Structure 1
């Protein structure tokens, strides 16, 4: 299928307010907290004609193989303050978010119920169950699983969802705020930050962080061609829902943008691009050759950088940060 690409020339001048500073303090107070590494990959810098390619490696974060606990655990912390007496956490997931919610529920002595579309791998489903969660597998899409999870919440249950819609935006904003720790750990001034996109929440966190500081790098968002809800929305000039199918980038297999992410990405993200399955798989292999474990959803950022290279204003002195969100 044709590659989709959207550019917003005014994005770097857009500004917003940062996430609360207490988010980082919360994470630093967790027993398993440690900043994740930023790996230099000279071979990729040479290939792409830039000064440095640095990979933010989220393959080990708070005892889990992905970055999602940063958002989920902060959101749970804040949401339980707002909703005392909660007994069960409910969510929908295409993998890592659901496991992070289930892990934190178990740590806090709460029950968890996770709704999963049947395109999610049995390995990922077993990992969620291993955290003590009740798992409901549905023969449907991620978007429909979110609807099912939201509809199931009653009484002392609480929905912890990483996508927002009108009427449900407080907890998703907590999740986005939680991701800010990842960017506060990055101690370089990049010229470009590349981030994967599902519903757009971590991309929202990226734009929020870098559009609320003196440093204003370009931001490139990357999503699967088979689930291109953000890029399609940007090209349409309004949020749209797209039909999704199976993709190796399972964590990005989302058909509808988050209502919170949409205005931030519309106004503050420089470039958005889609990538194909084989491009993501090649990126996984190339990062593995650099001793970085990255699944297709995380390695999509390298695939997207390659795909959008000619549309980006980069030089031989530029520093590029790729966000690799998960282990392989």
Structure 2
């Protein structure tokens, strides 16, 4: 089967019956306790939006609002803080932790800033590689955290390659949120860090009398690490009522959708997109078995859909960038237009369903993404 997303039906999407029965091991329980002990930690809001529930013809809609997480405008600090904690603890235990270390990464914005902030808080150095098209304000925010920044005249995947080479050439450690064969331990820690977000959702829904959890979770997807964390959370328990899990990607970089259609991980060429943090052409090798096994569906959306969703959330009082708004854009795309009733049935949604949208970034996290700036 071709991995060419343009050959898929309109809207480009796929559904996979049986994903809710797939099982995996849970994330470590101590991650949540670690985050709870951090200075400035508080659970991010779970905001109910009845107006959206009416528009989508479901029972209740909640937005997990990551527009301010540990002082940064995106969820990424959860994964980075846990991974750096594990990394520095390991270095001290092995006797290599006497001096500062340089943490190297590639980013479209949010992850790199989280690495830079965490390095600064721990008295370490950071070197961040940014691909072409990342907005100058996003770069300035990373520099403002004290990091060295190197611009790469190429794609995100090329920036990752350059970062890996730089880390190998000096006394440095690559802290990347994407994995490949031979580089999976630190990305695995980053994924574990994201589990706190899901644990908070459980607690917040239970406080509202919804202890059975949601019926569907919509997840913006780049390399798939957040999706891996969400799949791990919901597919590691045997109780009933497992939710449908929906991945949403830009049409310009729909590598997970293409892989699910083909039945194997693939790399796809990427184009320009306002959903900068999702502009990834290759899924994480660590995430792929989880997204292939545990995702119910995937959809690719155009920039116009993400922009419209961000505007709708803003009108309802939720700050969201294009990446965070992709969760709403994907669900709106599937539940509207020709064939919507069939897609609704495939996702198991009806007028009583509870939906959670992961708003992974605030509006300030992702300025307009324009090539060459």
Which TM class, normalised by the smaller chain length? over 0.9
Does residue 268 (structure 1) correspond to residue 289 (structure 2)? The answer is no
Per-residue deviation at 1:212? 1.2
Of 99, 106, 114, 2:120 maps to: 106
State how many pairs are aligned.
328
Partner deviation per Cα, 1:45-92 (whole Å, 9 max, x = no partner): 001110001000000000000000000110111112233435110000
Of 214, 223, 231, 1:190 maps to: 214
SS of the residue 2:272 aligns to: coil
TM-score, scaled to structure 2: 0.86
Superposed counterparts of 1:39-118, under 5 Å? 39-83=47-91, 84-85=96-97, 87-118=101-132
Separation in structure 2 between the aligned mates of residue 68 and residue 115 of structure 1, nearest angstrom: 16
Partner of 2:223: 199
Larger radius of gyration: 2
SS of the residue 1:185 aligns to: helix
Per-residue deviation at 1:7? 1.1
Per-residue deviation at 1:155? 4.0
Aligned-residue Cα RMSD (Å) equals 1.0
Task: Give structure 2 stretches of 5+ with no counterpart.
Answer: 1-5, 206-212, 364-373
Give every structure 1 segment of 4 or more consecutive aligned residues whose post-TM-superposition deviation is greater than 4 Å: none
SS of the residue 2:139 aligns to: helix
Partner of 1:122: 136
Partner of 1:281: 307
Separation in structure 2 between the aligned mates of residue 155 and residue 282 of structure 1, nearest angstrom: 44
Task: Give structure 1 stretches of 5+ with no counterpart.
Answer: none
Separation in structure 1 between the aligned mates of residue 285 and residue 196 of structure 2, nearest angstrom: 22
Partner of 2:210: none
TM-score, scaled to structure 1: 0.98
The 8 Å contact of residues 11 and 334 in structure 2, kept in 1 or not, is answered as: no
Per-residue deviation at 1:4? 2.1
Per-residue deviation at 1:208? 0.5
Separation in structure 2 between the aligned mates of residue 106 and residue 244 of structure 1, nearest angstrom: 32
Partner deviation per Cα, 1:255-314 (whole Å, 9 max, x = no partner): 000001111111110000000110000000000011000000000000001122232221
Does residue 174 (structure 1) correspond to residue 189 (structure 2)? The answer is yes
